[in-house]
Structure 1
Amino acid sequence: MSGEPQVQEEFEARLKAYEGRPAAATGVGRDPVNEPMIRHWCEAMGDTSPAYTGPDAIAPPTMLQAWTMAGLTRRPERTAAYDELLTLLDESGHDAVVATDCDQEYLRPLRPGDEITFDSVIESVSDRKTTKLGAGYFVTTRTDIRAGGELAGTHRFRILKYAPAHRPSRPAERRPRPVVNRDNAGFWEGVTRHELLIQRCTACGTLRFPWLPGCNGCGSPDWDTVEASGEGTVYSYVVLHHPPFPAFEPPYAVGLIELAEGVRIVSNVVGVPYDKVRIGMPVRLEFRRYDEELVLPVFQGVTP
């Protein structure tokens, strides 16, 4: 056996050693099974089944995982073993990840008031697989979900940890051009002068953004503009990781910025690491040139 296959074999043996080890231990659902979450789920899914309403309501079976989720915070019950496995894969170059599939088994219905507990185990780590994304390993976790101590269902979740396949370099691509029309041309003209202009209804004084042909407060078609001070805060944001898009380099943060004037604008948050952007973070307007034609308003994060 040559050295390289032996190294590969030893590495995969280290990965396999994590099979059967806990991924999350003694987890507790953040909320009991409850009617508001059931209602929101059904509205989002368009599910009007009468089984999910009324005094004998049950939760939709496909909500099984929802009762174990920790929101935007890291699950405190996640184990060191699971973190070690992911770190081992990251350090070996398999640092990209994509969720591939999940399957669920339902053993008893969940009803409003049920208290949820759960445990997860690293069920399997595959041999090295070659995919279009790149070569890597499928990691499957199994979560047993209980209600009042009784097993209610099982959720299996599979991810692929992979080393991205080499892609030939491509010439730099220009960022997409904004769509300029008769309703917003004045805004983009202001941007070229490094001015962020907000429409103001001359009938009722209401500020509006984005630009519209008439006031959505009083309906007047008459307006002028005021220049934004450039001060604002992050009202909400998302971080784009995937898929990659020409002329953009993920990950990057896109924020819904509330300006000091009270209107909101969507733009990139720059100048701070994407994972340091927070709701309520103060930001300051700047204008960034991306090529010989394109200037865009972006917002510089202001850290304490």
Structure 2
Amino acid sequence: MSQPPSHSSSPQLAAQLAAFEGRPAVVGGVGKDPVNEPMIRHWCEALGDSSPAYVGPDAVAPATMLQVWTMGGLSGHSSRSEAYEELLALLDDAGCTSVVATDCEQEYLRPLRPGDRVAFDSVVESVVGPKTTKLGTGYFVTTRMDVRVDGEPVGTHRFRILKYAPSRAPGASRAPETPTGRELAATRPRPVVNRDNAGFWDGVGRRQLLIQRCLECRALRFPWLPGCNACGSGDWDTVEACGDGTVFSYVVMHHPPFPAFDPPYAVGLIELVEGVRIISNVIGVPYDKVRIGMPVRLEFVRYEDGQPELPVFRGDLPGGVGG
């Protein structure tokens, strides 16, 4: 069965969608559970984070759990606004019936502690499109959630989805495609640089891989954070990684086949000799030859003109045979 025609890229639709910017998405939301120790423990166990900051009488919740306390679970929240429902229905009617989460950004104003009960409101910050992707043509919808405890702002969570019209019907055959250089340049995403990680990307621009170091307890940390996840101090400097490491874990990416990339390829969790871990591509060896414990060495690669160089890691097969 073929897809019905879609007007997902019409100028009239774009104008209708733009009118939703600034309108509420969630009004008067309240967390279903207070910040609590069991959920903090489960989170830390899943991530392997044994920081003492998250246990004991003075415990705080990991900052990145900010969204957790606002989630509605399987039953959802009853506080989603009519305006947001209208926005999603308008996109559905235009053929943008599929959705994928693309990214999120968070800002933290103060730590959350067990017993805190969060409240939140959310606004439609932007609707951008139409954008044509490998998945199909659609719109990026960004909402900004402002989180409070007892009326005091504690953080902001921006969440972005792509609502799109699938590019082909399920089961339809796919014609072979060879993306051109121009298509690659148009679709490859750029790194998100913000005030918390700008120093890291400045280092990459100098072909340095910089690791944060707490000035209080001297613990190294990666990825970059505004405060120490061991002692909570906000004072830090950096050390430059020597570039040697091993593959701690890895996955082979097969899907989705975005035009800017060439799956299958290996993405590794690299343990640096300094003791921290970084996620990056493993190059120089066939994707199916990557193994846990494989030695790797830092390189900087620019994949496209006009894009920044990226830190990647070249693998070393037994006997010194690389790709």
Report the TM-score, using the length of structure 1 for normalisation. 0.53
Match of 1:30 among 26, 29, 32: 32
Match of 1:169 among 172, 180, 204: 172
- Misfit runs of 4+, over 3 Å: none
Tell me the CA shift for residue 20 of structure 1: 0.5
- RMSD over aligned CA atoms reads 2.2
- 1:94 corresponds to which residue? 96
Match of 2:59 among 36, 57, 60: 57
2:89 is paired with a residue whose SS is helix
Report the TM-score, using the length of structure 2 for normalisation. 0.50
Q: How many residues align?
A: 169
1:202-244: CA deviations, max 9, x gaps? xxxxxxxxxxxxxxxxxxxxxxxxxxxxxxxxxxxxxxxxx89
Unaligned runs of 5+ in 1: 172-242, 245-304
Alignment of 1:1-304 (within 5 A): 8-166=10-168, 169-170=172-173
1:175-196: CA deviations, max 9, x gaps? xxxxxxxxxxxxxxxxxxxxxx
Give percent identity, aligned residues only.
65
1:72 is paired with a residue whose SS is helix
Tell me the CA shift for residue 127 of structure 1: 2.2
Q: What is the distance in 2 between the residues matched to 1:34 and 1:98?
A: 30
- Name which one, 1 or 2, has greater alpha-carbon Rg: 1
1:239-266: CA deviations, max 9, x gaps? xxxx89xxxxxxxxxxxxxxxxxxxxxx
Tell me the CA shift for residue 166 of structure 1: 2.4
Tell me the CA shift for residue 154 of structure 1: 0.4
Q: What is the distance in 2 between the residues matched to 1:169 and 1:139?
A: 28
1:29-74: CA deviations, max 9, x gaps? 1111111111111111111011001111000001000000111012
1:94-147: CA deviations, max 9, x gaps? 111111111111110001111110000011000210111111100001100111
Q: What is the distance in 2 between the residues matched to 1:31 and 1:96?
A: 30
* Counterpart amino acid of residue 109 in structure 2: L
Q: What is the distance in 2 between the residues matched to 1:146 and 1:15?
A: 28
Unaligned runs of 5+ in 2: 1-6, 175-254, 257-323
1:151-173: CA deviations, max 9, x gaps? 100000000011111268349xx
Q: What is the distance in 2 between the residues matched to 1:143 and 1:92?
A: 26
1:47 is paired with a residue whose SS is coil
